[in-house]
Amino acid sequence: MKVQHKVIVVTGGGSGMGRELVLRLLSKDAKVVAIDINESTLQETLTLAGNKGNGLTTFVVDITKKQSVEDLRDKIIAQFGFVDGIINNAGIIQPFIKVNDLSYEAIDRVMQVNFYGTLYMTKTFLPNLLTRPESHIVNISSMGGFLPVPGQTIYGATKAAVKLLTEGLNSELADTNVNVTVVFPGAVDTNISKNSGLKATGQSFTENKSIKVLSPVKAAEMIIDGMERNAYRVMVGADSRLMDFMYRLNPKSAAGFISKKMKSLLAG
């Protein structure tokens, strides 16, 4: 689906990859609705949009609240009359600790944002998307959604759920006007640790010198390109492409490789 003049909703649009997705869409003359739980970062995105800001509408929304998402839909439909696409980008990671040491509170929070937030957005907007001549759902999973990452096991489980949710939707909607794309970013240079409410405890993922990170600008370009090509899946970054290949070739070996890479970040 070409994004020009389309109305597209982006979650997590206040920072990182979400912000760059918003700016990329605006540069291609889409009308963008950016939502985030953080009002100040949404305002920063609006400021960065510059003269393209006329095409940007922002809402402060907690996507873990189903009623809030449904209220958002009503506001957007009242303003625009329809929605052509949604990009479910918002997500958080867990503390870099093992499942045995992870609190149920932390587990619930990651599950609510990453899985239920994506599910609420999809279920709420899908009936409207089905009425459009052409529409699109993009769900951001993760390289950790197909490959186990020690210290991020629950995060990975939520992203694996997003992967299968998206692939299932693709099959269910195959004979409709709704296109569906699942995205697997590798290491992208964002503030996800800070946005996840995690305290700085030593070296961060993006500071690990053995891991090459991708800029959020480049990641956003790849995602929007995949959306416009109606791609089934988009691997974002050389690490994601490499690990996808390695995991399909030999899952246990690939898991061991990542475990060694992540050992310095895993507490305990």
Domain membership of residue 74 as a residue range: 7-265
Q: Which single residue is written with the structure tokens 């629950």?
A: 154
155 as an active site residue: the answer is: yes
Asked whether residue 148 is assigned to any structural domain, the reply reads yes
Asked whether residue 205 is assigned to any structural domain, the reply reads yes
Asked whether residue 154 is assigned to any structural domain, the reply reads yes
- CB atoms < 10 A from the CB of 252, how many? 8
Residue-wise pLDDT tens digits, 150-183: 999 999 999 999 999 999 999 999 999 999 999 9
Asked whether residue 60 is assigned to any structural domain, the reply reads yes
Asked whether residue 2 is assigned to any structural domain, the reply reads no
Asked whether residue 194 is assigned to any structural domain, the reply reads yes
Please choose, from the candidates 48, 62, 41, 189, the residue with its C-alpha nearest in 3D space to the C-alpha of residue 120: 62
- pTM reported for the whole predicted model: 0.92
Can you give the length of the chain in residues? 268
Per annotation, catalytic residue among 104, 116, 120, 155: 155
Helices 16-27/39-49 angle, 10° precision = 30
Nearest-angstrom CA–CA distance, 76 and 81: 7
Residue-wise pLDDT tens digits, 200-255: 443 344 444 455 789 999 999 999 999 999 999 999 999 999 999 999 999 999 99
Residue ranges of the alpha helices (H) in the chain? 16-27, 39-49, 66-80, 104-111, 117-129, 153-172, 192-195, 216-228, 238-249, 251-262
Asked whether residue 1 is assigned to any structural domain, the reply reads no
CATH number at residue 204: 3.40.50.720
Report the number of distinct structural domains present in the chain: 1
Q: What is the DSSP letter of 84?
A: -
